Structure 1
Amino acid sequence: MIVSSFKDLLDTIPENVKADDIYGGWALTAPDGDERFIWSKDYSKSPYHDVLIEFDSKPFVDAGLVISKLPTNIVLNNKIMVGVKLSNEKLTYNGEATPLDSFKKFIEIKPNQIVYHSELDHYGVNLENGNIFSWAKNMLNNDSDIQFLLDPQMLIDAGVDPMKVTGWEYKKNTVIDSNGTKTDIYKFIKSFNLK
């Protein structure tokens, strides 16, 4: 079901899914062009992250972000990157890799990076440190087909006033830990309805 719902996502916006030379994989670009979910097709060639969210720094700079206060290696060309390096494994395919093939490899190698949010009926890729890219299990039944969720603390520590960020919602999001305990935590959330 995870793979078929991700395939539905890719098929819904094929013009927004392209090869990404910087990270050696694939990028799904949000309809506004400001955010991308990127996944590698070969972990041995990914420099810093194998799966990540890349987003425009401008709304955060306008809300007080001091770029120099962010951790090293997460800003490139006015884009902020949050993600995770999964391994240095060389991935091989039967024939030329496709975006869906690379996603299937990701699930085979790191199934624990996939999360499910029952209230939203969304699958998600856990990018660690509270950052998630999620998509609707069934886009026909959901008003929010994709979401970019950011842990705000790193940005707040670097000067962002969360109430002044435009284009992103700053609100509580319910998370469930491995013990089934629900906790409400603040996130920056940007959602898109694709269907």
Structure 2
Amino acid sequence: MKKMKKTATLLMLLILIPVLAACQRSKTGNEDADNALKSFSAILKAYPSAKGYHEALNHWGFALPSGEKFEWSSDMSANKADFAMVMLADPLVDAGLDIEKLDENEWLYEPAGKDDMGENLPNRLILPFNVSDKKVKTDGSEDSMMKILKENSSLIKYHEEQNHYRLLLSEGNEVQWTEELGKNDSDMIFVLKAQPLIDAGLDIDKLEGTGWTFREAGSEPGMGDNPDQIVKTFDIKQ
């Protein structure tokens, strides 16, 4: 009888080991990216009305209170950009930015109008970023984000001093989100490399009132060798 009990116990352990391993397995292949995904998912769950899906373009979007959006692809093979920062163009134009002087290989400008769902849209400045053209099947917004991060988890960095995650979209351009809602003054932050915008006419002395602020290179602890940037912070609950 004792031998039978030992055998049964051993069989149970053999069953539990792969189950426990599966529970601990990384979703993206990187601990910081896994934690960033968890934090991002918590934001989506807390503000479901801010999330939307654009079927024609195969992407998800999260609308921020002042009109900006953060977008990510549901099918990397169907889009030229897997991430996109969508910003209001007019405040930057009013601060001197000449849209025509921006590098058209890096920036997109979309004039005001209605989208294919009838929504009124303002003039928008878009910074797209492609991760991969790999075709993967996704199941919803969080799974779509996970599949993109899994393709290149090195895009995620954790900022220990400020308790937030950084999604690096080319040199100097970032989307940041809080590790935990309520833990930081800002829930999400858009960061843009300043020099290309300054070269296109942006006057950083005219940013007051736009929601954007100028940040000098090296002025942010824990941010490495980041260049001059302009930054806009968002408190989603407002």
Of residues 149, 159, 168 in structure 1, which corresponds to 2:191?
A: 149
**1:167 lines up with 2:167 in the alignment:** no
Tell me how far apart the structure 1 counterparts of residues 187 and 229 of structure 2 sit (CA, whole Å).
17
Matching residue of 2:145: 103
Query: Scaled by the length of structure 1, what TM-score is found?
Result: 0.87
Which of 50, 61, 75 does residue 16 from structure 1 map onto?
50
Deviation at 1:119, TM superposition (A): 1.9
TM-score (norm 2): 0.72
Give, as a single letter, the amino acid of the residue that structure 1 aligns with 2:48: P
**Which residue in the other structure is 2:70 paired with?**
37
Among 56, 77, 84, the alignment partner of 2:88 is: 56
How far has the Cα of 1:74 moved from its partner? 1.5
In our comparison, the structure showing a higher alpha carbon Rg is 2
Q: Which amino acid in the other structure matches residue 183 of structure 2?
A: N
Aligned 8 A contact 1:136 1:142 in 2: yes
Aligned partner of 1:124 in structure 2 is 166
Q: Percent identity?
A: 32
**DSSP 3-state at the match of 1:52:** strand
Deviation of 1:20 after TM superposition, in Å, equals: 2.5
Alpha-carbon offset, residue 21 of structure 1: 4.1
Deviation at 1:23, TM superposition (A): 3.9
- Show structure 1 runs of 5+ residues with no match: none
Contact 2:93 2:202 in 1 (8 A): yes
Corresponding residue number in structure 2 for 1:76: 110
Task: Name the count of aligned residue pairs.
Answer: 186
Consecutive aligned runs of 4 or more in structure 1 exceeding 6 Å deviation: none
Larger proportion of helix:
2
| Correspondence for 1:135 | 177
Aligned counterparts of 1:122 and 1:29: Cα–Cα separation in 2: 19
In 2, the alpha carbon distance for the partners of 1:81 and 1:21 equals 19
1:116 deviates by 1.5
Q: CA deviation at 1:130?
A: 1.0
